[in-house]
Amino acid sequence: MKKLFLSCSVFFVLNSCFYSSPIRTIPLKRIWYTVDWNKRNEEAAKILQDLIRIKSVRSNELEVALYLQKLLRKEGIPSKIYASKKHPTRANLVAVLEPRRPYINKGIILGNHVDVVEADASEWSVPPFEGRIVNSRIYGRGALDMKGLAVMQLMAFLELKRSEVPIDRQVMFLSLADEESGSMHGARYMIREHADLFKDYEWMLNEGGVATKDVGIPGATIFNIQYAEKGNLWLKLKAKGASGHGSVPVAEYSALNLIRFYEKVLEFDTSIRITDETRTYFYQLGSVASFPTSFFLKNASNPLIRPLLSGTLRKNKHLSAMTSNTKAITGIRTEEGEGYNVLAGETFGKLDIRILPGFDTLEYAEKIREIAKPFGIEVEIFDEIGPDLSPLEDELFQILANVSVSKIPKSVAAPFLSAGKTDNARFRRIGIRCYGLNPAILEAKDTETLHGKDENISLENLKLGSMILFETLYQTMDL
């Protein structure tokens, strides 16, 4: 009895000490007119089919931009296409809705990318560039990533105009090129050459997170809103050593040195780190999980709970990436040699390191150099970009979370940290607060179609996403 009392007390103390949800419940303004979203969705589906049919595999964004420009023109919305002289087909499109009355608020950008990755038709059950509808789902490369989301944004954007909502801030529809291959012709080009376009904007809604159902927590629908991204540190390595004969190996030679160095790097900094923001992510998951998982998740940062949770986190590659600085060995190569019996004088390697917010990529590179020193390995930074983060205590983040969960009973919104990079990283660097959500509710098998085979979006999700984005924009207006 005493024991039970004690454990109950510990439970309540822990629960109350660490109770905190990152999402404030905010009253949503009533929308005073009705939109026939079923009808709008027929239009949305047709546009998405057209966009999928325009093959823009890491190229040809101009054709998409021209299509969108024509459509916007019909609605009386002017737009402009931007591309460098050298790469005129890698085009970006900008359209802006201007408030009718004088305004003081900074604007909001609906950011999307209209390039897609390759699709091997032989692996697909439907052709990847035909936009076919099968069982109320639109199939095709880009259906989710991210022509589908671009269409949701477009529907929301058009609805603001059509419904004559009295907007009090500028709203930009921004279609970017080249996101899938590093954004040289897209976000990076636009920010470098046309930064003025963005100076009156404070917010961006873009990709980065998705809503999931039955993923991780059975039965739960979770709107994973991306607020931060890890940093990238890509290192080029060169190990040197005496060349020699494979039959009489010396104690140290280049390939062996590199492997030993790799072992040391993998042993370095393996801690699971739960920041304030990640803690709130787990807390939200806990609020839709059943006991005892709910208890552990809600108290993730508690020093008594953390060791118990660490094992679970390490086993899941996504949760592990969210809570640790990861290091992946992405290359090992000796000089091209003739036979199996040569100790190469030089061995080359590659490391892909992803760093949590709060860490500095250059400082981290220095630590790796120190580990490399005893092995005589040269470490060169091939590319680096630091972590980036937008605040959770932000009106747009809170509105997006509240609007999203209002659509699905018992769903929850959670602040999501991406292991990978999107264009949000570029725009956060110029002071724009970016939040990433594709408000389509995906099951585990749907998430696998991203960059995979049979990518598709349900018509229901297309409608839901358009509604959520429109209502989010609506709520940001001081009506």
Secondary structure (3-state) at 334: strand
Q: How many CA atoms lie within 13 A of 68 on its CB side?
A: 32
We find the least distance from the C-beta atom of residue 207 to Zn ion, in angstroms, to be: 5
Question: Which residue number, 223 or 359, has a Cβ lying nearer to Zn ion?
Answer: 223
Question: Which residue number, 55 or 161, has a Cβ lying nearer to Zn ion?
Answer: 55
We find the least distance from the C-beta atom of residue 122 to Zn ion, in angstroms, to be: 24
We find the least distance from the C-beta atom of residue 77 to Zn ion, in angstroms, to be: 24
Question: Which residue number, 207 or 454, has a Cβ lying nearer to Zn ion?
Answer: 207
Q: Is the peptide bond before 184 cis (omega within 30 degrees of 0)?
A: no
Cβ-proximal residues to 292 (8 Å cutoff; 6+ apart), any chain: none
Residue list 316-345, contact with Zn ion (CB under 5 A) = none
**CB atoms inside a 10 Å sphere around CB 432:** 23
We find the least distance from the C-beta atom of residue 431 to Zn ion, in angstroms, to be: 22
Q: Which of 116, 167, 171, 163 is nearest to 140 (CA)?
A: 116
Which of 61, 115, 145, 229 binds Zn ion (CB under 5 A)? It is: 145
We find the least distance from the C-beta atom of residue 56 to Zn ion, in angstroms, to be: 12
Question: Which residue number, 186 or 415, has a Cβ lying nearer to Zn ion?
Answer: 186
Residues in contact with Zn ion, shown as a per-residue x/- string from 104 to 143 under the rule CB under 5 A:
----------------------------------------
Q: Which of 167, 15, 183, 158 is nearest to 87 (CA)?
A: 183
| Total binding residues toward Zn ion, as defined by CB under 5 A | 3
Question: Which residue number, 145 or 277, has a Cβ lying nearer to Zn ion?
Answer: 145
We find the least distance from the C-beta atom of residue 186 to Zn ion, in angstroms, to be: 11
Residues in contact with Zn ion, shown as a per-residue x/- string from 400 to 429 under the rule CB under 5 A:
------------------------------
Whole-angstrom Cα distance, residue 18 to residue 22?
12
CA R_g for the chain: 25
Residue list 180-219, contact with Zn ion (CB under 5 A) = 207
Cβ-proximal residues to 10 (8 Å cutoff; 6+ apart), any chain: none
146 binds Zn ion (CB under 5 A): yes
Amino acid at 183: S
Residue list 155-174, contact with Zn ion (CB under 5 A) = none
| List of long-range contacts for 366-375, beta carbons under 8 Å, 24+ apart | 367/268, 367/269, 368/235, 368/265, 368/268, 371/261, 371/264, 371/265, 371/268, 372/237, 372/261, 375/239, 375/257, 375/258, 375/260, 375/261, 375/264
Question: Which residue number, 186 or 349, has a Cβ lying nearer to Zn ion?
Answer: 186
440 binds Zn ion (CB under 5 A): no
The structure tokens listed for 255 are: 């390939």
We find the least distance from the C-beta atom of residue 24 to Zn ion, in angstroms, to be: 29
We find the least distance from the C-beta atom of residue 322 to Zn ion, in angstroms, to be: 19
Question: Which residue number, 325 or 456, has a Cβ lying nearer to Zn ion?
Answer: 456
Question: Which residue number, 207 or 229, has a Cβ lying nearer to Zn ion?
Answer: 207
Whole-angstrom Cα distance, residue 389 to residue 118?
30
CA 443 to chain centre: 17
* Residues at the contact surface with Zn ion, assessed by CB under 5 A: 145-146, 207
